[in-house]
Amino acid sequence: MRHLDAYIARHVLMASLVVVVVIVGLDAIFTLVDELDQLKNGYQFFEALQFMGLRLPRRAYEYMPLACLIGCLAGLGGLAASSELTVMRAAGVSVWRITLAVIKPMALLMAISMATAEFAIPTLERIAQSNKAVAQGKGDLLSNKGKGYWHREGNTFMRFTAVETSGVLHGVSLFDFDEEQELQRIRTAELARFQGDHWEMEQVTDLKLGRLQNTETRSELQDWETGLTPESLSVVMVQPRDMSISNLYSYTRYLEEQGLNADNYLLSFWRKITQPLGTFALVILGISFIFGPLRSVTPGYRIFTGILVGLIYKYAEELLAPASIVFGFEPVWASVIPITGCLAIGLALMRKTG
């Protein structure tokens, strides 16, 4: 049985890896073409190529559930086309035994994928976004053009044009409000450097707004006391979907303590937590197709079916995510409902096949 498990696992694993390489390769080409439209200042072809390369692990992680589904359909489909699955069943190997043999390599892929998402992707994404923002902003880092990065701490709203992972902020703007939400003070600086326990801003303009008169002062250097550190800037620089599970959890608690809306971060947190379960549900659904409606179809039809099912699953998640915010149900259900649906259909089909 061990040799049979290894044989099935090898076919499914190789098919899944081929799918990942093909999908991520195509996505990388489209990403590079899109980045070529954003060339500006110091951000040229080499920088765009580097940006694309740093984001490859993220794209592989996002496409992994779809790749596992198509890999399962292609790998097991090849065995079915050569009648090897029929021989296995005739020899007394149950569908559930074959399912276990398929799930083992998928579990390995998901473990690698989750480790990449937790430890590598957040760091690579920060580096990619930082390098791009700094390169594009050379010469106009104080400009308000572009999205920049926003953060709130108490009654102070902060905006940074570019953030370097080394602990340097470019184009700093600080907006201080009072308890009545009236703007009291605006500070801008060309850059700020982290000095261990505080930030030191350079080329500072400090505008204090009064009821009768505004006061503006300029200084070469000014200390800035804040709880923000280069490490905590990770939540400012990257989108919730690119943050690690631990950072999502801690930042969600921080937002709730501040009385701020944390739904987007909760959605990303639960999506990452439940992604392995979603992948296994898709794999079981794919196996049920091989032993059921897709037993004797062409390989191209199987791959088309896998892409279609994967897209339906992804769009269901994408639609339920904003629905949870609009209708007020817990964000975790946006991930659990598609998983439950896939698993229920897959198990029902597999029971029919025995």
DSSP conformational letter for 138: T
Among 65-74, 145-154, 310-319, which stretch is predicted with the lowest mean pLDDT? Answer: 145-154
For the stretch 41-67, pLDDT in tens is 889 999 999 999 999 999 999 999 999
Retrieve residue 144's tokens.
Answer: 């308000």
The residue behind tokens 């964000």 is 331
Residue 326 has pLDDT above 90, yes or no: no
Main-chain dihedrals φ then ψ at residue 208, nearest 5 degrees: -100, 125
Alpha-carbon distances of 114 from 27, 205, 274, 335, rounded to whole Å: 20, 45, 11, 16
Nearest to 34 by CA among 48, 21, 46, 23: 48
Residue 293 has pLDDT above 80, yes or no: no
Among 132-146, 271-285, 312-326, which stretch is predicted with the lowest mean pLDDT? Answer: 132-146
User: What is residue 142's predicted lDDT score, i.e. its pLDDT?
Assistant: 47
Give me the percent of the chain exceeding a pLDDT of 90: 52
The residue behind tokens 């690119």 is 242
165 against 303, higher pLDDT: 303
Q: Quick count: other Cβ atoms within 10 Å of Cβ 133?
A: 23
86 against 141, higher pLDDT: 86
DSSP conformational letter for 240: G
145 against 179, higher pLDDT: 179
For the stretch 216-250, pLDDT in tens is 999 999 999 888 888 777 677 788 889 999 989 98
Domain ranges of the chain: 2-136+262-353, 149-236
User: What is residue 321's predicted lDDT score, i.e. its pLDDT?
Assistant: 87
Distance CA 174, CA 177 (A): 10
Alpha-carbon distances of 201 from 140, 173, 209, 214, rounded to whole Å: 17, 11, 20, 21
User: What is residue 141's predicted lDDT score, i.e. its pLDDT?
Assistant: 46
Q: What is the mean pLDDT of residues 85-94?
A: 88
Distance CA 186, CA 248 (A): 30
- What order of strands is seen across the sheet that includes strand 215-224? 149-153, 156-164, 168-177, 183-194, 199-208, 215-224
- Output the average pLDDT for the chain: 88
| β-bridge partners, 175 | 157, 186
Q: What is the 3-state secondary structure (H, E, C) of 293-312?
A: CCCCCCHHHHHHHHHHHHHH
Rg (C-alpha) for the chain, rounded Å, is 25
| β-bridge partners, 176 | 156, 185
Distance CA 85, CA 83 (A): 5
Main-chain dihedrals φ then ψ at residue 244, nearest 5 degrees: -75, 160
Retrieve residue 301's tokens.
Answer: 């039809």
User: What is residue 354's predicted lDDT score, i.e. its pLDDT?
Assistant: 60
Burial class (CB in 10 A: 0-12, 13-18, 19+), 343: middle
